[in-house]
Amino acid sequence: MNQPGIPRFGIWLPVYGNWAGTDPGRERHDASFDRSRRLLLEAEELGFETALLAEHIINPLDNNLDQLETWTATAALAALTSKIELIAAVKPTLFHPVVLAKLALGIEEISGGRFAINLVNAWYRPELERAGIRFAEHDERYAYGREWLQVVRGLISGARVNFSGKYFNVTDYTLRPASRHRARPRIYVGGESEPARNLAAELGDVFFNNGWPVGQIRANIADVARRPRSGAPLRFALSAFVIARETEEEAQEVEHELARVGQFQDLTHLLGSADPKAVMFQSARKYPHIGTNGGTAAGLVGSYDQVAQRILAFQEIGIDTFVLQFQPFDEEQRRFAHEVIPRVHRLNRFQAVSAAPVALAAG
Ligand SMILES: Cc1cc2nc3c(=O)[nH]c(=O)nc-3n(C[C@H](O)[C@H](O)[C@H](O)COP(=O)(O)O)c2cc1C
Give nearest CA residue, ligand 1 atom 10. 122
- List C-alpha distances in Å: 342 to 6, 46, 149, 322, 336: 11, 11, 38, 15, 9
Q: How far is the CA of 354 from the centre of ligand 1 (A)?
A: 39
For ligand 1, say whether the CB of 196 is within 6 Å of any of its atoms: yes
For residue 361, tell me if it sits in a domain. no
| Residue 120 within any structural domain of the chain | yes
Q: Are 10 and 323 in contact (CB under 8 A)?
A: yes
How many domains, in total, are found in the chain? 1
Q: Decide if 360 is inside a domain.
A: no
Q: 91 C-alpha to center of ligand 1: Å?
A: 9
Give, for all 363 residues of the chain, the pLDDT tens digit. Answer: 555 578 999 999 999 999 888 776 778 899 999 999 999 999 999 999 999 999 999 999 889 999 999 999 999 999 999 999 999 999 999 999 999 999 999 999 999 999 999 999 999 999 999 999 999 999 999 999 999 999 999 999 999 999 999 999 999 999 999 999 999 999 999 999 999 999 999 999 999 999 999 999 999 999 999 999 999 999 999 999 999 999 999 999 999 989 887 765 566 667 778 888 888 888 888 998 999 999 999 999 999 999 999 999 999 999 999 999 999 999 999 999 999 999 999 999 988 888 776 655 443
Residue numbers of the domain that contains 130: 8-355
Q: Considering the domain boundaries, does residue 66 fall inside one?
A: yes
The residue contributing the CA closest to ligand 1 atom 29 is 190
Q: Is position 363 within any domain? A: no
DSSP string across 280-307: HHHHHHHS--SSSTTGGGG--EEEHHHH
What's residue 4's pLDDT?
Answer: 58
- pTM (two decimals): 0.95
Question: Does any ligand 1 atom lie closer than 6 A to the CB of residue 61?
Answer: no
Is the CB of 49 inside a 6 Å radius of any atom of ligand 1?
Answer: no
Does the residue 3 lie in any domain?
Answer: no
- Residue 22: give its domain's CATH number: 3.20.20.30
* Cβ of residue 193 lying under 6 Å from some atom of ligand 1: yes
d(CA 298, CA 324): 11
Taking the centre of ligand 1 as the mean of its atom positions, its distance from the CA of residue 238, in whole angstroms, is 13
Q: Whose CA is nearest to atom 14 of ligand 1?
A: 120
